[in-house]
Amino acid sequence: MFQYRPENYATLYLLIASAIASVSKVASEIQRICFTKDWVVVISRSERVDLSKVNSYLLSIDQASSLALPWVSGWLLDHFPWQTVCLIIIAYNCGSWVLEAYILRNLYQNTEGLKTRSSELEGDEELMGIKDIRMNTVTTYFRQSSWTAGFGLALLYMTVLGFDNLAASYGQKHGLSAGYIGFLRGVGSLLGIAGTLSYHHISKRVGLLWTVMIGLIWQNIFIEMCGVSMLLPGSSMDVSGFIQNTTASQWVSKVVHKVTNPEPQDVPSIPFWEVSLPVNLFFFGIMFARFGLWLADPAITQIQQETIREDQRYMVFSVQLGLNELFSVLKDIIVIMFPFTSLFGALTLGSCAFVFAGFVFNLFYHAQCGFSLTNKNMHLVEQESTEMSDLSDTSPERQSLIGGVSGDLRAVEEETKATSSTNNEEETH
């Protein structure tokens, strides 16, 4: 927590900066759902740009920003006092709000597709959701044909196998220097960027479904390396010893003590060539798995973008974000409950199980769509058949507004032509 520093109001600056950053985080997540999950589909169609290319570039920018941000933050903290850094953060967040609002406003005004939906549906309560979308949002999510793919993606958040403070703390307790951990994290970020850039080219060749399979198989291979590292001689995992030597009351008291009195990372660093094989294998697994993760992630997102109805897209992706955060929070709670180095191996094995479960859910979705080496759009077959079956029960006006599929429109036109032709024949007779 914050230490009170009366000099120059440092604590006040920290609190204000944290509050503004928190508000900015919430606004950023809302904007992220609107723009990267919904608007980008409409914009790519309007500009006739391939959606996979747009998704790839957006994720690459996001990955590059995540790579550069720690370097910039560290440089600021090394060269400026706390107060100045806090003011810079406040100014940056406020400035980014204004700039993002200006860019989004211009995009909205210059893209007719973004304005068509609201203007055409206005005043017609039947077409508005339409209004039926007041149904439970979670139910709507699980009614999507691609919910298994999205749920599999959410399961990947239930893991301690990321380049975050958990892995860094594990490495430092085994003698890894901050520089070595930073190097591995940097290489992992570069592999993540390589995955997002490769996703567009791979999906164009084999389709989205096979891109997901390639990415998740790659990720599972290297994530399982992390699990194997915990079973090798020299690993610090000792679950049986912890259970035998710790009672429930002792466990609770140890957890409370660790939360209230964090241990200092005072383990002396050792050269990277002296680091034990299990620890190196653990970090190499995390590092190389990043490529597969960021190859599969945008492919799953695009499958959802293409299979979710336009009027339900924001709702479904809101639930998707909620599921992602839910599993991430559950992971944090479990780590807080078991903050012991001897149990980190068990958390690693559990993470491997969840990553594999995410693969199984996506494999099930792939099987639902059908396996094909020639048809790259198997995930759209079920969607198109569902929409075509809805035509018989849907008025042409409603189809043109909420269908959004050229095949639907062509079917309506053909039906209209057939009807008019029949009427002409009757008049002739």
What percent of the chain is predicted at pLDDT more than 90?
29
Q: What domains lie within the chain, and their CATH numbers?
A: 1-116 (no CATH), 140-403 (1.20.1250.20)
Q: Which residue has the higher pLDDT, 170 or 266?
A: 170
Query: Is the confidence at residue 420, as pLDDT, over 70?
Result: no
Q: Which residue has the higher pLDDT, 422 or 28?
A: 28
Query: Is the confidence at residue 153, as pLDDT, over 80?
Result: yes
Q: pLDDT-derived band of residue 8, with 50, 70 and 90 as boundaries?
A: low
The model scores a pTM over 0.85: no
Query: Is the confidence at residue 365, as pLDDT, over 80?
Result: yes
Reduced 3-state DSSP string for the chain: CCCCCCHHHHHHHHHHHHHHHHHHHHHHHHHHHHHHHHHHHHHHHHHCCCHHHHHHHHHHHHHHHHHHHHHHHHHHHHHCCHHHHHHHHHHHHHHHHHHHHHHHHHHHHHCHHHHHHHHHHCCCCCCCECEHHHCCHHHHHHCCCCHHHHHHHHHCCCCCCCCCHHHHHHHHHCCCCHHHHHHHHHHHHHHHHHHHHHHHHHHHHHCHHHHHHHHHHHHHHHHHHHHHHCCCCCCCCCHHHHHHHCCHHHHHHHHHHHHHCCCCCCCCCCCHHHCCHHHHHHHHHHHHHHHHHHHHHHHHHHHHHHHCCHHHHHHHHHHHHHHHHHHHHHHHHHHHHCCCHHHHHHHHHHHHHHHHHHHHHHHHHHHHHCCCCCCCCHHHHHHHHHHHHHHHHCCHHHHHHHCCCHHHHHHHHHHHHHHHHHHHHHHHC
Task: Quick: pLDDT tens for 262-314.
Answer: 766 667 778 777 888 899 999 999 999 999 999 999 999 999 988 988 888 88
Highest mean pLDDT among 2-6, 65-69, 213-217, 228-232 belongs to 213-217
What is the residue-averaged pLDDT of the chain? Answer: 78
Task: Quick: pLDDT tens for 369-410.
Answer: 988 877 777 777 655 555 544 444 444 433 433 344 444 444
Task: Quick: pLDDT tens for 33-91.
Answer: 777 777 778 777 777 877 888 888 888 888 787 777 777 877 787 788 867 877 887 78
Q: Which residue has the higher pLDDT, 227 or 134?
A: 227
